[in-house]
Every structure is written in C-alpha cells, then in structure tokens.
Amino acid sequence: MKFCSNCGAQVARRVPPGDALPRWVCDACGIVHYENPRMVLGTIPEHEGKVLLCRRAIEPRYGYWTLPAGFMENDETTAQAAVRETAEEAGARIELGPAFSMISVPRANQVHIFYRARLLDLDFKPGEETLEIALVEESGIPWPEIAFRTVATTLRRWFEDRAKGQFGFHAGEINS
C-alpha cells in the first residue's frame, strides 16, 4: 500500500491516460507519481600511479573495497557530487578531471558515473561510511573484494586506458 505525498490519500498503480507504463496515480488530487533512476557519482582519485580505494563501513557490501561514490543530491552538478562524495567518504581533496565512465544498472534503477581525479595531498582519512583507505597499484587491486561491478569495470577501463596512454569516456551497462 502506498500513499500520495501531495495529499496523503491512498494511490493506485495503473496506466494514466496518454501514458504507456503503470504509475502510482492519486485519484484524490490527480497527481501522477513518477519514479526515475538515481545517479551515483564518484571519482577515481590517483596519486603517482596508485588509486585510492575505500573499504566500506556500511551495507551493502560491508568490508568490500570501492571507489568513493554516492547518490547525487538535488541542487548540485555531477562534478560537485563527485567532489563532495570523495570528501565525505575519503576526506580527500582532489583536482577533478574529465568524466570517465557512465554505467547503467537497470536492475537497481541506478546510473553510476565516475570522474578521473588527482589527489591534491595525502591527508585523506576514512569518513563515517569507510573503514579504511588504501592507495593501491594495479597489481594490488583486490579484484575479488571489489564491492560493485560498476567499480570493477571502471577500474579495469582506467588501467587499460592508462596502459594505452590515452583516457577515453566509457558508457556501458550491467544487466545481471
């Protein structure tokens, strides 16, 4: 059972006139409540060839390693969200580079976007959602302990592009 955020009445799931998909519709006040995917923004912070990884202090994937990232908020840009999440999760100050990857995860109704970044100093420290932080070389990436496939894919593309000497932009999706 769900309720209308506008008037508090119970809402029903049906296809509104002129629409193609079922929505939560309020018969009391007439509002259609659309649901849309959320964006997760993060960075690949680099220092002398090593990449900053965070070990998660929260579920899902408690104890697994990830890049600093989190949900984009209202009133900010994708770039601001990437910088904010890097500060919140890793206490890290960065110079933001170009957007690097954009990976849809339709199963979770999310799109994960990562920017390249350069650490401005080594004064990082774990935020509330992070157990510990490590700067790791390619050979030290704990692949089986990476928290999310969007992060693993982003890291693989990043090391491939670095080996080529040219960084591109990588759009993709994870469908299982």
Footprint of a copy of itself on this chain (CB under 8 A)?
2-11, 18, 21, 24, 33-39, 71-80, 98-99, 102, 104, 106, 109, 111, 113, 128, 168-169, 171, 173, 175
Of 6 and 140, CB closest to a copy of itself: 6
CB of 118 to a copy of itself, least distance (A): 17
Of 78 and 138, CB closest to a copy of itself: 78
Question: Phi and psi for 167 in degrees, rounded to 5?
Answer: -95, 130
CB of 111 within 8 A of CB of 105?
Answer: yes
Tokens for 34?
Answer: 């659309």
CB of 139 to a copy of itself, least distance (A): 29
CB of 162 to a copy of itself, least distance (A): 18
DSSP letters, 12-40, are EEEPPTT-SS-EEE-TTT--EE----EEE
Spacing of C-alpha 138 from chain mean position? 21
